[in-house]
Amino acid sequence: MISINGLSLSIAKPKIAFTKNPFLIPLFFSNPKTSSSSSSQVALRPVFSSMSYDKELAAAKKAASLSARLCQKVQKALLQSDVQSKSDKSPVTVADYGSQALVSFVLQKELPSEPFSLVAEEDSGDLRKDEGQQTLERITKLVNDTLASDESYATSTLSTEDVLRAIDSGKSDGGSRGRHWVLDPIDGTKGFLRGDQYAIALALLDEGKVVLGALACPNLPLASISSTSQHPSQGEVGCLFFANIGAGTYIQLLNSSSASKVQVTAIDNPEEASFFESYEAAHSLHDLSSLIAKKLGVKAPPVRIDSQAKYGALSRGDGAIYLRFPHKGYREKIWDHAAGCIVVTEAGGVVTDAAGNPLDFSKGRYLDLDTGIIVTNQKLMPSLLKAVRESLEEKKASSL
């Protein structure tokens, strides 16, 4: 019997006690074709044990929580000079850079004996230019002030060069071999700038599979958000969702250490369901979502919030469905979904592309997707898939 995240688990003696990766302990191997366990190596997939990732999860929670502290400070008193525009015209702030530097630094400090690879959104190109110097100094101060606020890092001080290096450690290409951290230092930067929802989304890939996630949502209330109360004016705010493969999903307040297990909703009647979608119409086709919702019989209006806070809210049953249909040609990045995906699946939900295939995080920095991403519980997925297929066919026919 072992205890993981407060859960007591009985672990069967492994039928095969070897693995190429000493950090992985397979509980058993399942053969996807026969569903029976076997000692043959042919066509076998390891089923990962959560006990391998406890210290990584602790490091991820610490990194995401400290970054949330930095982001909250910036959002409270945002200066005009804190916001810049990237080459694709999307906004980036000192908090995006500071969060990435902080996560990179903390993960490496907490896990000094592990090889470090990070796939993350930002790079330091603009900060290395002459006109980026003031911004870089502001970021360095934010990072050092945040470290100083934590007793285990009170004596750590980063130079501007350390900060640039920490940001640029996020250039890894990820892939299907080995371990890679995946980070969106601020997911929903537009929401962050509006004073709304955003998330610090951190996940770990092992052999191409997401094995843990820490999702900090500094503006998400602890109480449920629903279609009728998207902005509750009172109650505790600031949630950290975390999931370790095979061990479920938990939520705690960002400034507390007492966690509770969450589960997706059990409803099976779409008429009782509400659905999430992007706040920004440029990020997801709202018309298509409303057609799908109508076909399903969903009565509630969409709940539009920024970032992977949608995955977190769904994992605790605030809503039953998340629909994401980007405009044609957009390629989804792995950091926009990795943490959210495991937070939902470990809470009993299902995350697929529009054709019902699981998301594949092993292909590098991008997801190779069919059309969109849909998320719901196991009971609603068959009817959701049908509604999605019919709606996409209708949309295609009407554009001919």
Ligand X SMILES: Nc1ncnc2c1ncn2[C@@H]1O[C@H](COP(=O)(O)OS(=O)(=O)O)[C@@H](OP(=O)(O)O)[C@H]1O
The first and second tokens of residue 41, run together, are 């190596």
Give the H or E element holding residue 204: strand 199-206
The first and second tokens of residue 161, run together, are 């060069």
Q: How far apart are CA 390 and CA 396, in angstroms?
A: 10
268 marked among binding-site residues = no
**Single residue of 49, 104, 189, 289 touching ligand X by CB under 6 A:** 189
State yes or no: residue 340 binds ligand X (CB under 6 A): no
State yes or no: residue 330 binds ligand X (CB under 6 A): yes
State yes or no: residue 188 binds ligand X (CB under 6 A): yes
Give the H or E element holding residue 238: strand 237-244
State yes or no: residue 190 binds ligand X (CB under 6 A): yes
State yes or no: residue 186 binds Mg ion (CB under 5 A): yes
**Single residue of 121, 206, 207, 353 touching Mg ion by CB under 5 A:** 121
Q: How far apart are CA 257 and CA 384, in angstroms?
A: 36
Q: Is residue 189 annotated as a catalytic residue, yes or no?
A: yes
318 binds, among Mg ion, ligand X, none (CB under 5 to 8 A by kind): none
Q: In this structure, which amino acid lies at residue 171?
A: K
- C-beta of 121 vs 277, nearer to Mg ion: 121
Q: How far apart are CA 364 and CA 283, in angstroms?
A: 21
How far, in Å, are 87, 301, 311 from residue 374 at the CA level? 29, 17, 11
In the set 93, 135, 140, 189, the catalytic residue is: 189
**Per CB under 5 A, which region of 23-31, 113-121, 247-255, 275-283 contacts Mg ion?**
113-121
User: CA nearest 220: which of 178, 252, 261?
Assistant: 252
Q: Which of residues 113-132 bind ligand X (CB under 6 A)?
A: 121
Please enumerate in sequence order all residues whose Cβ is within 8 A of that of 389, keeping only pairs 6 or more positions apart, or say none.
Answer: 354, 355
Specify the pairing of strand 83-85 against strand 45-46.
unpaired
How near is the Cβ of 312 to ligand X at its closest, in Å?
12
State yes or no: residue 61 binds ligand X (CB under 6 A): no
Length of the chain: 400
184 marked among binding-site residues = yes
188 binds, among ligand X, Mg ion, none (CB under 5 to 8 A by kind): ligand X
306 marked among binding-site residues = no
Q: Is residue 135 annotated as a catalytic residue, yes or no?
A: no
Q: How many positions of this chain bind Mg ion (CB under 5 A)?
A: 3
Q: How many positions of this chain bind ligand X (CB under 6 A)?
A: 21
In the set 96, 196, 206, 306, the catalytic residue is: 96
DSSP assignment of 242-256: EEETTS-EEEEETT-
Give the interface with ligand X as residue ranges (CB under 6 A): 90, 121, 184, 186-191, 278-280, 282-283, 306-307, 326-327, 330, 333, 336
Report, as residue numbers or ranges, the catalytic residues: 96, 189
